[in-house]
């Protein structure tokens, strides 16, 4: 992937590689400082520029290195093979490289009454929320539970099937909050928790555990944990001042989020949160305005306000500014013009984050447009329908 198609005035940084799906649904790796134009691996739909916060995959050997096919076979390095019920020799574990999305997968296959899984112990911190994910595809039968977190110092959670159908792909997930500092067991396979399988075969790949309330893109690991750094897209200096009108203007952004709160789709600022105009997705409570203006540390405009934001929903948002004349619109809903708003002095733009290169979108930017005039309220409504 290259940066072709991007405005050359945009500086993009990410101090690590990152994964994404191309238009054929093939898992790809973008090098350091290379943006990711992501696609749905199932529908192949173009999703847009992926912007995510920093995350770490706490599981080792997420590519199943060291797995050997057999009855029941050999677990990958850093993983332990577990079986309950049935005869271990009746369950076949096959290592497969080069699946349809170019990720190494393991094929679990067992007869009725079997349970077979890989497990790994990880350290958790009291009060921290974690999300566990695995990409899976049912080949035959009913695999039962494919993912589990087994009680240690954290509450036990189990996921069953997660809507997995034969020949379909999904990313199953569990979210849990540790109730103590210590270890928990992450288990994935067929019948990985309670309940036995029904003569089933399932293909599993790309396991991940990350501290956070929602999953982010896959982070490959080998012998140690791996961190994917945050995506930062910005415009500064003359790359910003060449188009920005300090007196009046209108910003339009089309985006969707995967999950989370306190996110920003676009911002112009002085590099702090004290002087900033945001296309604001949500605030800390999960609701937010479409367009928020903060001047000298004070919120001076927030329009329209208290709009709930849903994940995986496309939003079209516009924000218009002029001294004592600020308004915003989202998907055709227009706010009430704020007639007492001072406009902050700014010198940069951030795409997919807030004024201090924080409050990351954790989602996709599809379009951004800027108008060096304050569009009318009717135009804001029409632009966002």
In this structure, the answer to whether residues 348 and 301 fall within a common structural domain is: yes
Q: Which two tokens stand for residue 125?
A: 């911190």
In this structure, the answer to whether residues 238 and 134 fall within a common structural domain is: no
CATH number at residue 296: 2.60.120.200
In this structure, the answer to whether residues 174 and 307 fall within a common structural domain is: no
In this structure, the answer to whether residues 216 and 239 fall within a common structural domain is: no
In this structure, the answer to whether residues 84 and 48 fall within a common structural domain is: no
* Sheet bearing 363-371, strands edge to edge: 37-39, 46-51, 363-371, 248-257, 315-322, 327-330, 333-334
Q: Is residue 4 part of a domain?
A: no
Q: Is residue 347 part of a domain?
A: yes
Q: Is residue 166 part of a domain?
A: yes
The secondary element (H helix, E strand) that includes residue 215 is none
Say if CB 225 and CB 130 are below 8 A apart: no
End-to-end CA distance of the chain: 32
Per-residue b/e over 347-373, b at no fewer than 16 CB within 10 Å? bbbbbbbbbebebbbbbbbbebeebee
In this structure, the answer to whether residues 380 and 241 fall within a common structural domain is: yes
In this structure, the answer to whether residues 119 and 195 fall within a common structural domain is: yes
Q: Which two tokens stand for residue 249?
A: 């203007």
* Domain interval for residue 24: 16-54
Total tally of structural domains belonging to the chain? 3
One digit per residue, the tens of pLDDT, for the chain of length 385 reads: 334 457 889 999 999 999 999 998 888 999 999 999 999 988 889 999 999 999 999 999 999 988 887 777 788 899 998 876 554 444 456 555 445 455 678 888 877 777 788 999 999 999 999 999 999 888 888 787 888 888 776 666 666 545 555 566 788 888 988 988 989 999 888 877 766 677 888 888 999 999 999 999 999 999 999 999 999 999 999 999 999 999 999 999 999 988 777 889 999 999 999 999 999 887 666 677 799 999 999 999 999 988 888 888 899 999 999 999 999 999 999 999 999 999 999 999 999 999 888 899 999 999 999 999 999 999 999 999 9
In this structure, the answer to whether residues 220 and 349 fall within a common structural domain is: no
CATH number at residue 148: 2.60.120.260
Q: Is residue 163 part of a domain?
A: yes
In this structure, the answer to whether residues 180 and 134 fall within a common structural domain is: yes
- Stated pTM of the model: 0.91
Q: How far is CA 19 from CA 54, 120, 320, in A?
A: 13, 23, 35
DSSP of 125-191: -TT-EEEEEEEEEEEEEE--EEEEEE-SSB--EEEE-TT--BT-EEEEEEEEEBSSSEEEEEEEEES
Backbone phi, then psi, for 241, in 5-degree steps? -65, -20
**Domain ends where: 227, 243, 272?**
227
In this structure, the answer to whether residues 312 and 357 fall within a common structural domain is: yes
Q: How many C-beta neighbours within 10 Å does residue 73 have?
A: 20
């Amino acid at each position: 992937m290259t940066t072709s198609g991007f405005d050359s005035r945009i500086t993009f940084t990410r101090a690590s590689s990152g994964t994404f799906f191309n238009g054929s649904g093939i898992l790809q790796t973008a090098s350091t400082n290379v943006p990711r134009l992501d696609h749905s691996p199932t529908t192949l739909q173009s999703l847009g520029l992926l912007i995510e916060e920093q995350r770490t995959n706490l599981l080792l050997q997420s590519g199943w290195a060291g797995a050997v096919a057999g009855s029941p076979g050999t677990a990958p390095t850093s993983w332990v093979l577990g079986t309950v019920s049935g005869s271990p020799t009746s369950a076949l574990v096959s290592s497969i490289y080069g699946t349809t999305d170019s990720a190494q997968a393991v094929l679990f296959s067992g007869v009725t009454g079997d349970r077979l899984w890989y497990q790994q112990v990880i350290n958790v911190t009291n009060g921290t929320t974690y999300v566990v994910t695995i990409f899976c595809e049912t080949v035959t039968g009913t695999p039962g539970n494919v993912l589990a977190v087994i009680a240690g110092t954290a509450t036990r959670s189990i996921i069953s099937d997660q809507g997995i159908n034969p020949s379909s792909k999904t990313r199953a997930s569990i979210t849990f909050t540790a109730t103590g500092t210590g270890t928990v067991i992450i288990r994935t396979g067929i019948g990985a928790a309670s309940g036995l399988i029904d003569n089933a075969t399932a293909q599993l790949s790309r396991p991940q555990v990350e501290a956070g309330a929602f999953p982010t893109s896959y982070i490959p690991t080998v012998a140690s944990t791996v961190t994917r750094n945050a995506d930062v897209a910005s415009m500064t200096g003359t790359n910003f001042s060449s188009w920005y009108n300090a007196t009046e203007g209108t910003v339009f952004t089309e985006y969707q989020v995967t999950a989370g709160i306190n996110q920003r789709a676009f911002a112009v600022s002085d590099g702090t949160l004290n002087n900033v105009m945001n296309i604001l997705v949500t605030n800390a409570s999960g609701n937010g305005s479409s367009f928020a203006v903060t001047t000298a540390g004070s919120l001076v405009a927030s329009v329209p306000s208290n709009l709930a934001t849903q994940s995986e929903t496309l939003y079209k948002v516009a924000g218009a500014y002029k001294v004592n004349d600020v308004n915003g619109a989202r998907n055709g809903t227009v706010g009430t013009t704020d007639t007492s708003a001072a406009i902050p002095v700014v010198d940069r733009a951030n795409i997919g984050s807030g004024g201090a290169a924080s409050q990351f979108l954790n989602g996709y930017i599809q379009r951004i447009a800027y108008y060096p005039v304050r569009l009318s309220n009717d135009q804001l409504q029409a632009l966002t329908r």
